[in-house]
Chain A
Amino acid sequence: MSKFKKEGKKNAPGINTSSLPDIVFMLLFFFMVATTTKDADPTVSVTPPEGVRATDMTPYKQRSEIDFMYLGKPRNAARAAEFNYGFALFLDNVAQPDPGDLYSTNYIRQWKKDKFNSKPPSMTKPIESVITCVKADREAPSGIIFDIRKELQEIDALTIAYAVRDKSNI
């Protein structure tokens, strides 16, 4: 008569996975809160220059007071020769009637006006203070930037932002 029960052969118990969804949901919510959705995948490749003390555009984005345009080398290298200096302009979120217009500065006025008219009614800023953010490639010639400025001046869209990658450590 033994005091201790002899241990029988026992299978290792299965790990309870019922809390796994909770963990994954937690991850999911973190990413939902910490990120913003992409506006558009630009068809030009842009490597922004670096700078310090730049203004964060997120609050403007949340209030939809900002429109983005991209200036860079076309991803389709065969098309590069068609454009001035080999750099093309991509205006986001607009269905372009003619693919040729996609890359020239001629379309900026129409694009900006369309964008302004399709803003939600909660956005009350006049067109002068709606920011146009230019995301330009570091090698892009400044001449194109000034062409863009001129087009914006024509329709009184008087606030421009030059996108950079902020390297100051705050």
Chain B
Amino acid sequence: MAKKEIPEINAGSMADIAFLLLIFFLVTTTMDKDTAYVRSIPKKVLIKTEPVDVEKRNICAILANSKNQLMVRGEIMNNPDDISEKVIEWYTKNEVTNDVTNNFPMYSRITMREIDEKISEFTAVAEEFEATPNASADMIDFKWKQVTEWENKKKALKLLGKSELPELHFQAHVRIEVQKETAYELFAKIQSELEEAIFTLRDKASNEIFGESYGVIKKRYDANEGDKSKQAQAREDKEKLDLLKILYPDRFIEVTPKK
């Protein structure tokens, strides 16, 4: 009997199988990116405290009513695209010199010596708390947090390379007040404008100080954060971002609507 050759396997239907798989993946997946504005919700307060008086100049109130009309700092606004400009003005009006007569938040300018003094002062307080019997762990934690806060400011000022660190008044905040019937679209638009304002401010500062765009630093930090081999770069970027955050803090308050 003659030697029989093994027949070749017909691969013609391989393409069909691959197509089937391809179509399955096309159907079960999505291509659109999920993008959102991340905000934090304040912790629930168990103890009722008196509301603190805040000077008018420290509030940048953005109001939207149930008919989707806008008001920013007492002025009716027809075009929601202008919010970011208003917010930028509110942030930067007194940045260079404080003018007591206008209605914008004050800046304090702290020197390295003042920061050092504060650090030793708060460290002493924290140590004292730790030594006190029955002091709650939360309280000790809080005191140490204050120390870290000042240490971060020290780092920021070093990075800034100037004699003084400009700092927005600690009570200054942006306030979003909407009503229950305000469309979510407008609420999201306000968030978008705030994000735009903060980005513009930080980007300008970033270009001046580091000669690099804020977006570039942020993207690089996000990419390197989880990468063990690039920790040095990530740390450096983190410090840069921290400085920009101290210069232009994003203090947004969303007020729960009553009606």
Contact = CB atoms under 8 A, between A and B. Distances in A.
Given A56-B33, A166-B33, 20 more contacts: A18-B11, A20-B14, A28-B21, A31-B26, A37-B30, A51-B35, A51-B37, A53-B192, A54-B195, A55-B35, A71-B184, A85-B181, A140-B183, A156-B43, A158-B40, A162-B188, A164-B35, A164-B192, A165-B35, A170-B215
B29 A35 contact: yes
Contacts of A18: 11
Contact of B43 (A145, A158, A162): A158
A27 interface: yes
A37 B25 CA distance: 9
A133 interface: yes
Nearest to B43: A158
A159 B22 CA distance: 37
A24 interface: yes
Chain A interface bracket (under 10, 10 to 19, 20 to 34, 35 or more): 35 or more
B36 A142 contact: no
A49 interface: yes
Given A35-B25, A142-B187, A162-B39, A150 B256 contact: yes
Contacts, number: 171
A38 B24 CA distance: 13
Contacts of B33: 56-58, 166
Interface string A62-88: 000000100100000000000001000
A140 B188 CA distance: 11
A61 B34 contact: yes
A153 interface: yes
Interface string A132-149: 010011111111011001
A56 B30 CA distance: 15
Given A18-B11, A159-B41, A164-B36, A141 B28 contact: no
A59 interface: yes
A34 interface: yes
B41 A162 contact: no
A91 B27 CA distance: 22
Contacts of A149: 41, 254, 256
29 contacts: A17-B12, A20-B14, A21-B18, A27-B22, A35-B31, A36-B29, A36-B30, A38-B28, A49-B185, A49-B188, A50-B188, A51-B37, A51-B188, A51-B192, A53-B196, A55-B35, A55-B38, A139-B184, A140-B184, A141-B180, A141-B182, A153-B43, A158-B40, A160-B38, A160-B41, A162-B37, A162-B39, A164-B35, A164-B188
